[in-house]
Amino acid sequence: MSRGIRYTNEFKQEAVNQVVLHGYSVLGVSKSLPLHLLFGTHNRVS
């Protein structure tokens, strides 16, 4: 069974830095990085 995507600590820290230090929105960061899989903000087929 697959456990999904594993992100490195550096990758996670950079995502947090973009939100906290640079003031970007979580949604904006998730769209600019492949975090849409982590945050579940990708488009879903209904």
The reply to whether 22 falls in a domain is yes
Token couple for 41: 């903000």
> Does residue 34 lie within any of the structural domains?
yes
The length of the chain is 46
In a domain, 27, yes or no: yes
Residue 45 pLDDT greater than 60, yes or no: no
- Say if 28 falls within a structural domain: yes
Contact residues for 34 (Cβ-Cβ < 8 A; gap 6+)? 5
pTM over 0.85? The answer is: no
- Radius of gyration of the chain, Cα coordinates, nearest whole angstrom: 12
Model confidence band, residue 46 (pLDDT cutoffs 50, 70, 90): very low
Nearest Cα to Cα of residue 35 among 3, 2, 10, 5: 5
Residue 17, pLDDT score: 92
Number of domains in the chain: 1
Instruction: State the residue range of the domain holding 18.
Output: 9-39
**What tokens does 14 get?**
């950079």
- pLDDT, tens only, 2-36: 577 777 898 889 889 999 999 999 888 888 876 55
